[in-house]
Amino acid sequence: MPRLEATSTHYIKLGRGGQWEAEAIRDGVLRFGYRELSHDLCNARDWAAARDAWRAHRDGNEAVLTSDMNQAKIFYTAAETAVFITFHAGRMFWCRPRGPVELLADRTKIRKTVDGWHGQTAGGEDLFYERLSGRLLKVQGFRGTICGVEAEDYLLRKLGDEVTPEVRAAVQAEEQMFAAISGLMSLLTWQDFELLVDLVFSASGWKRTGATGGVQNTVDIELLLPSTQERAFVQVKSRATPAQFNDYLARMAAMDGVDRMFFVWHTGDVGEAPDLGNVTLVGPAQLARMVLDAGLATWLRKKVT
């Protein structure tokens, strides 16, 4: 994918305390306060006159006055090739400005955007806070309205789904690790596989309350999530087939007091999960990731050595 380019990048705070965030993102506009700042003078690009008229509102503080005018210039003159970002509801949004500034009845100002605000990268990856570097997130600490983005290179790489050689190498190593973990799981006895599944769910906060079965390579585990009192039923199978999964679904339908169901296996394929909302398939690929995330790769290796 070609690199996402921008002639400049800016963070904008949409209203005091974020009061305009939801509305501006919904309507696909940028919004700027500074009600007493002359729209006519700024629109005419008469910055000297606009500065003089605004001076009375800043008690002659030239440093603050300069900062205010720089922010106004950005809002009024940023090209369509610029990128603005903001943050709302645990996500970063970005847009490109378009057209002239318009004066609203309350004397705040708005600019339209090229195609609205986006909460995903160019490739469709969600821009949640937890997926963003602290180098970028710290821009939210800016006390004014508009400022440049210091982590510009990172921002453009993120928005354009650009992967650095270091990240690419890490992804390849991770994929190799997943494949190795899947191979090791196939060497486990069904009893050890049951234990591995128990450890994986325990690392996620689930507590085992009981188990039934224990023959013919299958076991049913009952789990409780203490934080929500959610109850789950887990069927663990070394090898699985679509027929076995369908049988599990039929038994599940007759169960009471269970909020979620997991079907876990390390060899075979059961097809797609039905759209029931409370049934989760955990096959070899997903389970390998869970094992790695839970820090159980070394335990697994030693178990089969």
Which CATH number does the domain housing residue 242 bear?
3.40.1350
Q: Which of 159, 177, 198 is the last residue of a domain?
A: 159
**DSSP state, residue 199:** H
Residue 234: give the domain boundaries. Answer: 168-304
Final residue in a domain of this structure, among 159, 188, 222:
159
Per-residue confidence in pLDDT tens, the chain, 305 aa: 567 899 999 999 999 999 999 999 999 999 999 999 999 999 999 999 999 999 888 877 889 999 999 999 999 999 999 999 999 999 999 999 999 999 999 999 999 999 999 999 999 999 999 999 999 999 999 999 999 999 999 999 999 998 878 888 999 999 999 999 999 999 999 889 989 999 999 998 999 887 655 544 455 888 999 999 988 888 888 888 888 888 877 777 777 777 888 889 998 888 776 666 788 889 999 999 999 999 999 999 999 98
Tokens 């970028």 correspond to 136
DSSP lists the bridge partners of residue 113 as 97
Please tell me the number of Cα atoms within 13 Å of 244 on its side-chain side: 19
Do both 285 and 189 map to the same domain? yes
4 within a domain of the structure (yes/no) = no
Beta-carbon contacts of 128 under 8 Å, excluding residues fewer than 6 positions away, are 90, 91
Q: Which of 98, 132, 159 marks a domain boundary?
A: 159
CB 55 within 8 A of CB 65: yes
| pTM, to two decimals | 0.71
* Residues 155 and 205 reside in one and the same domain: no
